[in-house]
Amino acid sequence: MFTIKKIRKIPAGAHDESLLTASMAIMRCQILSDDYRKIVRLFRKEEVPHHTFPFPSERNIHAVVRGVPVNFSDTEINGELEQRGYSPLHIIRLKRSGGAPMPLVVVILPKTDKSQQVFNEHELLGLAIRVEIQKNSRLIGQCHRCPKYGHAQSYCTAPPKCLKCAKDQMTHLCPLTEEEERKTGKSRDEEIAEKINNTQKLRIKSTDKSNSHVLKSIDPAKSNICVHSVKRVNNGVILSCENEASLSKLKASIQEELGRNFTVNDIKKYRPRMVINNVERAYTKSEGFIERILSQNEYGIFSSDDIKAVATFTCSESTLNVVIEVVEETRCLVI
């Protein structure tokens, strides 16, 4: 049992992050589901922005169905599942980064004994399929409402913030099209390549072997920084920023916020890497190993400084596989 001593009400429309942070409290305890619902109703009645998480017993089942052709609509899949006695809540067709649909469908079902049987299905609409449990990503999820990290939109009541225009609205209601949002005149492929080349990464680790406080202290909106992704690692997280300037701003704000119990380091950005298979061990020990690679492949426009052997691992008793770092131009020529 516990008692909430004070709830600080935040004025409607307020977006002062310091005000929001100062009013937040974290409670870790075992409570009954009825008490949980009473607390949530109280927060909503008092208009207290908050986020929470579902009980394990109330979490829906997420099943990945492999082998569903892209020409099958969600309505057809939903109808077939209903005929077999299932009650699907959502049917989600997975897509590639470019927007092309994949032969993968995520089916969200209520947590019932009947829903558990979906993993025993091997045929759908006359085609062979495979149903698997959806695996959790190592990337930390981002709320599509606030948008902060570590929780989902379904259990968030914070004021909405658009990811496209930064206005106080939901992102899916934004009238901006993809072309208007970019405003750069570059193609999507060019923008993706530029994003990959300019992305900078920051590793934050705690000395007490916990990454929970790191996540609570990350607030890109407060520093006006674009964070591409947040990934969990041992005792910390890795943040990917859009450029070096954003990385510097984020690093300064996080160091001030976290203090001495955390280490904040830049991650070295490696050049493209390639593997050369079945290299004679004697070749790798010679001083002219890199020059021999250049001469045998007739890349006369590059020097030995453009290629660097960084690692080797055994292929057989007499040969090794060699990992090399190359400049981007060399990699493009070889491929």
Least confident of 16-30, 45-59, 141-155, 186-200: 16-30
285, amino acid identity: K
Segment 67-96 shows an average pLDDT of 90
- How is residue 259 written in tokens? 């203090």
Cα 254 from Cα 202, distance rounded (Å): 10
Q: What is the largest CA-CA distance in the chain?
A: 76
Q: Around Cβ 230, how many Cβ atoms within 10 Å?
A: 20
Residues 119 and 148 in one domain: no
> Can you give the pLDDT at residue 332?
54
| Residue 82 domain flag | yes
Instruction: Note the pTM of the prediction, 2 decimals.
Output: 0.47
Among 61-70, 158-167, 171-180, which is the least confidently predicted range? Answer: 171-180
Q: Domain of 170: which CATH number? A: 4.10.60
The number of folded domains in the chain is: 5
With a pLDDT cut of 70, the percent of the chain lying above it is: 60
- Residue 205 belongs to some domain of the structure: yes
- The whole-number average pLDDT for the span 177-201 is 57
Whether residue 158 is predicted with pLDDT greater than 80 in this model: the reply is: yes
Same domain, 67 and 122: yes
pLDDT-based confidence at 167, cuts 50/70/90?
A: confident
Listed range (17-26, 162-171, 184-193, 220-229) with the worst mean pLDDT? 17-26
In a domain, 328, yes or no: yes
> So what's the pLDDT on residue 214?
61
Instruction: Tell me the chain's radius of gyration from C-alpha atoms.
Output: 26
Q: Is residue 5 part of a domain?
A: no
* 249 phi and psi angles, rounded to 5 deg: -65, -45
76 in a structural domain: yes
Residues 64 and 124 in one domain: yes
Residues 123 and 96 in one domain: yes
Where in the sequence is the domain holding 144, given as residue range(s)?
139-183
